[in-house]
Amino acid sequence: MAVVEKQKTNNPVGKSVPRNDVLEKVTGTAIYTDDIQFGPGLLHCRVVRSPYPHALIKKIDVSKALKLPGVKGVVTGDDFDEYIGLYLKDRHLFARGKVRFVGEPVAAVAATTEEIAEAAVELVEVEYEELEPVLDPEFGAQPGAPLIHPDLGSYERPNFIFPVAGTNISNHFKIRKGDTEAAWPQCAAIVEHTFRVPHVQHVPIEPHVAVAKMEENGQMTLWASTQSPFAQRALLAKTLHIPESDFRVIAPTIGGGFGCKAGVTMESIPCAVAMKFKGHPIKLRLTREEEFYTNFVRQGLVIHLKVGCDKDGNLLAFENRMYWDGGAYTEYGVNVTRAGGYSSTGPYDIPNVKTDSMCVYTNHPVGGAYRGFGMAELHTGVDQVMDMLAEKIGMDPVEFHKRNCVQGGDVLATGMVIHDVGIKECIDKVAQALDWGVKEPPSSPNKLRGKGIALAWKAPAMPPNAGSSALVKMNADGTVTVSVGGQEIGQGTFTAMAQIAAETLGVPYESVKVSGPIDTRYSPYEWQTVASRLTWSMGNAVRNAALDAKKKVLDMVAEAWNEDPKDLDIKDGYVISYKTEESISIKDIVVYGLPKPNDQGWIGGPVVGAGSFMPTYVTGLDAETGQGDRAVVHYTTGAEGVEIEVDKETGRITILRAACSFDVGKAINPALVKQQMEGGFVQGLSSALFEGMQLVGGVTRNPSFVDYRIATAADVPPEIDTFIVEHAQDDGPFGARGIGEHPLVPSIAAVAAALHDATGLRITNPPFSAEKVYLALLDAGLVE
């Protein structure tokens, strides 16, 4: 057999090296949570769920369920009285006294098979008394709306979340900058419009699954398909009164998350059941329908916008009133609301800003984190009003965007001074790729053709002190093992981390392995895999750990060679001396050390580098004005544009071509950055054209892929042009900042702008389904 020499990529940062998780995924050997075998002690769990959006629980009778052979037990809200919540602690593990959304867990059954557990669920008798539901966030925010959480005022919360006791408003974020009232009379053009963005679902290919086991000694282990093993450990340990060190979370390979596997979702249920049946692993798998009914959603938004500019198109004033449909509880909703608030202007420089961003309890599914964390919803409104205002003042949208977009040194609406950003270059690249300004003829008389562009920005939305840590272990064969606590959810973070470690250490990319699965017992701490923060934050931790390891190696060799470590370096896996031109392979010495001359002992020993990173400079914002020194760590900015055709026979939109450009600071792996741009654009396109949960009376009418349509390959343009812009991030590893979520953000507004360009109509509320477009054309007399 021929021996193929292994590829060696030195200095891999900035190179499109192949992903290091490809082989096991394409060959089907990767181990997902549902693949793990737990032996005959395994019990299956199914959940009794509320059929009502808002009701009192009068009585729960589990006696018939308990009599079913194979049923081990049933737990209800009576068994757990603690509150849980990532920010605002507002929910119980199982409903107590009251249900607040269709699908809310009321009880859970443990049985020897999934089928028996399901049969037992149907035997649990729950008596409800229906209450008037709140089904619209704007209505819910008004005085007199039914109160969903009468105890809101007493809930535990962090100091940056501002609930309004006695109302349904779980967070009210405000910005008061300049004086909008004084600015309106000076505007040459003003646009006011209201937009509605529907709830959407994440629909990862792998539904939620979790297995929990409590040992007789009280130690808990949770295997879960999760983006947040450490956050789950922290939240669940506290709620279940288990010491954090006795709570272990193992996070095997995950089949997509997009935010819905962040924080604690259904994992609390098997953990709660496991406490009652020590020694038995308890498994819960959600069906696709349960994903729709019971899991986090991208919450709906009603957004009222008013924006004005002077006669030259310079933005003068902006008012933004957002009602986020946070749903029955607010695991993430309150912070989406905060992020929507401090970023409420979009990437535009506006002197006078008034923002009210409110998270409102409704009897809808719980709002969670969804790729973009509020920014896609926000930009759906903001970028459309900007397009409208450009039209009103008679300015080309590209010129208007470039005139008003943020630049390094601008004072943002929160008072923060923004760093250098390359958004203008992004706009230029997108405009150029789409031949902006050239009106192309439609492909047939039955079509209308148009182009649209929209901008995006997003900051990592997280607590100010979200931290990362990493370990870099050197192996005797010259390879390196990197341990991290962030999850590979398809974005390619393990690849990027290997590149950063290899570049920093001076070894080939192929010599670095990133160890998985993440296991809170062995992996170093990571806050969560969210917020597009890993490349930047975990990347810094990995770089610091690699620097630490490198220093240890060089110190050891310097001592052995009697040289100054400053004259040494590691290149291609060899320690070299710039002074003496000596070199030695790092193999063996990074574990066994180096002998002193004449058999006089040894130097060094096994090399392990440790590193961590936490931003320390984010400040609080004033509760009444939203003003502070630094609201966020940084912003990733960019632009997207599309050219579309609208079929006059059916109303169907075809995307002819698309262009995306983002300033990522530094592309650690350009191919992966481009894939994020393509994937994000497509997911955004899907929500622009197809996606939306049809909530009627609190019930999801389209809870499966039969009627919740997502874009397929056939719906996507054959080519998506992607352009990387690199204005370095001052505190990013090699200048990098995140790109995971941002490409999804402007898609809806870009399609809406193109739709207007093609038809002259403003169809403002997504999804822009064929039916909606056709009926709008018909009502406008554009078709018969």
Partner 1 sequence: MHNPHPGLPEIDYIKPATLEEASRFLASHAGEARPFMGGTDCIVRIRDGVWKTKYLVDVKGLDGTDGIRFEAGKGLTIGAAVPMNKVAAHPDVQKHYPVLVEACHWVASYQLRSRATIVGNICNASPAGDTIGACMLLGGVLRVFGPDGMRDEPLNGFFKGPGKTNLKPGDIATALFLPLPPAGSVGRYIKLGRNRLGDLAIVGVTALGYPDASAASGFRFGIALASVAPVPLRASKAEEILAGKAIDEGVIAEAAQAAMDACTPIDDTRGSARYRKLMVRNLTRSALVDIWTKIRK
Nearer to partner 1, 222 or 695 (CB): 695
- 375-393 and 397-404 helices cross at what angle (nearest 10)? 110
Number of Cα atoms under 13 Å in the Cβ half of residue 612: 13
Q: Closest by alpha carbon to 285, among 261, 272, 297, 267? A: 267
What does the DSSP 8-state code read for residue 490?
A: S
198 touches partner 1 (CB under 8 A): no
Residue 240 near partner 1 by CB under 8 A: no
What part of residues 290-329 is at the interface with partner 1 (CB under 8 A)?
A: 290, 293
Is-contact 503 487, C-beta < 8 A? no
Q: Looking only at residues 744 through 773 of this chain, which bind partner 1 when binding is defined by CB under 8 A? A: 769-771
For tokens 């096994």, the residue is 606
Contact residue for partner 1 among 99, 121, 480, 673 (CB under 8 A): 121
By the rule CB under 8 A, 115 interacts with partner 1: yes
Q: CA dist 228 to 85, 249, 265, 538, Å?
A: 14, 9, 11, 14
Contact 771, 651 (CB under 8 A): yes
Q: Where are the extended beta strands (E) located within 664-737? A: 695-696, 699-700, 720-725
d(CA 272, CA 5): 52
Q: Which of 82, 192, 624, 707 binds partner 1 (CB under 8 A)?
A: 707
* CB of 118 or CB of 572, closer to partner 1: 118
Q: What is the DSSP letter of 186?
A: G
Under the binding rule (CB under 8 A), the answer on residue 774 touching partner 1 is yes
CB of 85 to partner 1, least distance (A): 24
Which position among 289, 420, 624, 719 is part of the footprint of partner 1 (CB under 8 A)? Answer: 289
Taking CB under 8 A as the criterion, the residue among 601, 714, 718, 781 binding partner 1 is 714
Q: Which two tokens stand for residue 122?
A: 């149907």
Assess 46 for contact with partner 1 (CB under 8 A): yes
Q: C-beta of 695: minimal distance to partner 1 in Å?
A: 12
* Under rule CB under 8 A, residue 103 binds partner 1: yes
Give, in order, the Cα–Cα distances in Å from 356 to each of 192, 409, 430.
Answer: 16, 25, 32
Q: Does 702 bind partner 1 (CB under 8 A)?
A: yes
Q: From 10-18, 400-408, 593-601, 698-706, give the range in contact with partner 1 by CB under 8 A.
A: 698-706
Q: Does 102 bind partner 1 (CB under 8 A)?
A: yes
Query: Maximum distance among all alpha carbons in the chain?
Result: 98
432 binds partner 1 (CB under 8 A): no
User: Taking a C-beta distance cutoff of 8 angstroms, is the pair 563, 577 a contact?
Assistant: yes
Contacting residue, 324, 342, 690, 734, with partner 1 by CB under 8 A: 690
Closer of 124 and 386 to partner 1 (Cβ): 124
Rounded-to-integer distance, Cα 47 and Cα 67, Å? 17
Distance CA 466, CA 473 (A): 24
Minimum distance, C-beta of residue 106 to partner 1, in the bound complex (Å): 12
Enter the tokens of residue 715.
């719906």
Question: CB under 8 A: which stretch of 20-28, 142-150, 411-419, 711-719 binds partner 1?
Answer: 711-719
Q: Does residue 118 bind partner 1 (CB under 8 A)?
A: yes
Distance separating alpha carbons of residues 328 and 149, to the nearest angstrom: 9
352-361 and 594-595 as β-strands: parallel, antiparallel, unpaired?
Answer: unpaired
Residues 640-659, interacting with partner 1 (CB under 8 A):
649-650, 652
Q: Which of 699, 728, 761, 782 binds partner 1 (CB under 8 A)?
A: 699
Q: Is there binding between residue 205 and partner 1 (CB under 8 A)?
A: no
Q: How many residues does the chain have?
A: 784
Regarding 681 and contact with partner 1 (CB under 8 A), the answer is no
Q: Is 674 in the site for partner 1 (CB under 8 A)?
A: no
Smallest gap, in angstroms, from Cβ of residue 111 to partner 1?
A: 12
> What would you report as the CA-atom Rg of the chain, rounded to the nearest whole angstrom?
27
34 is a contact residue toward partner 1 (CB under 8 A): no
Report if residue 694 touches partner 1, rule: CB under 8 A: yes
Shortest reach from residue 17's CB to partner 1, in Å: 33
CA 444 vs CA 119, 401, 439, 567, 647: distances in Å = 57, 31, 15, 69, 9
Binding site for partner 1 (CB under 8 A): 46, 49-51, 102-103, 114-115, 118, 121, 285, 287, 289-290, 293, 649-650, 652, 689-690, 694, 699, 701-703, 706-707, 709-715, 769-771, 774-775, 778
